[in-house]
Amino acid sequence: MARFVVIATINVVDGRMEDFLPLLLAHRDRCLADEPDTLHFQILRPKKPENQLLVYEEYTDEQAWQTHLQAASFTRVVAETAGMVDVSPEGMQCTVIP
């Protein structure tokens, strides 16, 4: 199976970045430690707009990503960050071409 990548844009509510970012970083760390099929999880902060984050996640395959969406860490971060994002994260799902 081909590796699977998700690239997402997260729009954080104005004034909430300092609350949101540590929660997302903790989620990233849990995923990398507890989900062996999570290969990469990078968080990027563009200079502008200041309330936006980009997330790059790479998994062994698409099933690993589906498993990630059901994992305790994902459920936890969704609950912890409720009301801190403008809309659901927009994402692009990709298959890695070897």
pLDDT recorded at residue 10:
93
Give the distance from CA 74 to its chain's centroid. 9
State the pLDDT at residue 17.
Answer: 96
Burial of 69 (0-12, 13-18, 19+ CB in 10 A): exposed
DSSP string, 10-54: EEBPTT-HHHHHHHHHHHHHHHHHH-TTEEEEEEE--SSSTTEEE
In a structure prediction context, what are the per-residue pLDDT tens digits for the chain, which is 98 residues long?
789 999 999 999 999 999 999 999 999 999 999 999 999 999 999 999 899 999 999 999 999 999 999 999 999 999 999 999 986 667 888 888 88
> What pTM value is reported for the model?
0.90
What pLDDT is recorded for position 95? 86
The CB density around residue 76, as the number of other CB atoms within 10 Å, is 14
Q: What 3-state DSSP class applies to 72? A: helix
CA distance 1 to 97: 11
pLDDT value for 51: 93
